[in-house]
Structures are given as C-alpha cells and as structure tokens.
Copies of this chain bind each other. A is one copy, B any other.
Amino acid sequence: MPGMEHGEPLDRVARIQAEWRRERPDLDIAPQGVIGRLHRLADRLGEELRLVYDRYGLGEGEFDVLCALRRAGEPYERAPGELAAHTMVTTGAMTKRIDRLERAGLVTRRRSADDQRGRIVALTGPGRELIDRAFTDHMRNERRLLDLLTPAEAESLETLLTAWLSRVERPRVPDGG
C-alpha cells in the first residue's frame, strides 16, 4: 500500500479501509485509497482556503464571483448568467450571491442597454480593491499549502490530476478519439 511505509500511523482513510476489509472481505475497497483521500484532502485544503476568505469578510461563493469579475478585465463586468456558468452554480444561487455583494457595496447591478431582460454586474472601486488584496493573499495561501510537496511531487500530482480530470469530463475517448 503506497505511503504506508515505516510504520507511520494509519490515516483516517486507511482505518476506514481496515474496517471494511474486516466487515466486507468480499469487496475490493482499494479505490477508496485514492478517492477517499482525494476528497479528504480537498476538504482540508478547502478549510485552509476559507480562512483567507473569512479574513476579508467573504464567503467562498462571493469570493468566486469577485474573482470571475476581476478576471473579466476592464471594466470588470459580466452578466449574472455568465457568472453562474463560470462559477458553476444555478442562476438562482447567483442572484443571492449578487444580492449579498451588492448589499456590501462590492458590486453594482444595472440593466443591459441592448437587452432589457439582462443585467450587468460590475465591480465597484472598493470591490476591485478588496478582491485584488484578497486574491493576492489567497495565492500566497495556496502556495503555502502546495509547498508541503516538493516541486517534483507537485508536478507529478498536477499531471495526474489533469489527466484524470480530462478523462472524467470526457469519459468517451477511445484510442482513435
């Protein structure tokens, strides 16, 4: 079993696997070693990342919306539907995120000139300033977490994650695909 050398204490996932082996010896529970740890790690990293969002009074969702607006470039505007697509939530959820950000004075909402149905969400000055500081801090935080790996480990991991992700997102890729 990888990563279990020199009698290191079993981690949570390994302990769960041991229990399943005892209770369900008929099953192959090896996949948990990868998938369980991936989820656990994502949770732990998420906790660490949230510490920075909190520091700026932002929830994860609000942080994501501000990032999407900032990434859009001058003049930092996007339609709610675009923001929803970029941040992978429903438009209903986006409405609420924008409500909160608007209330906090970080974005404005106005009608689109071309299409009166559409809205345009724009970063305000304070919004721009806040997300620039927060994102700088966020990247420092991600760097700190990534530096728990050696550069070689990080590169290996990125390659593996990129490959798996592309295969999960496009499951039907046969040899000629």
Q: Once the chains bind, are B45 and A155 in contact (CB under 8 Å)?
A: no
A15-65 CB contacts (< 8 Å) to partner B: 16, 19-20, 22-24, 27-35, 37-46, 48-49
Q: Once the chains bind, are B158 and A33 in contact (CB under 8 Å)?
A: yes
Q: Once the chains bind, are B139 and A27 in contact (CB under 8 Å)?
A: yes
Given A38-B41, A38-B161, A44-B169, also A139-B73 (CB < 8 A) = no
Distance of A45 Cα from B2 Cα, bound (Å): 21
Given A24-B135, A32-B142, A143-B28, also A41-B164 (CB < 8 A) = yes
Which listed residue (B31, B132, B158) contacts A37, Cβ 8 A?
B158
Say yes or no: is A93 at the interface (Cβ < 8 Å to chain B).
Answer: no
Chain B nearest CB from A17 CB (Å) reads: 10
Q: Once the chains bind, are A160 and B156 in contact (CB under 8 Å)?
A: yes
Q: Once the chains bind, are B48 and A38 in contact (CB under 8 Å)?
A: no
Chain B nearest CB from A64 CB (Å) reads: 10
Q: DSSP class of A's interface residues: helix, strand, loop or mixed?
A: helix
Residue of B nearest to A35 (CB): B142
Say yes or no: is A148 at the interface (Cβ < 8 Å to chain B).
Answer: yes
Chain B residues lying within 8 Å of A104, measured Cβ to Cβ, are none
Residue of B nearest to A4 (CB): B162
A contact set with B: CB distance below 8 Å: 1-4, 8, 11, 13, 16, 19-20, 22-24, 27-35, 37-46, 48-49, 70-73, 88, 132, 135-136, 139, 142-143, 145-146, 148-149, 153-169, 171
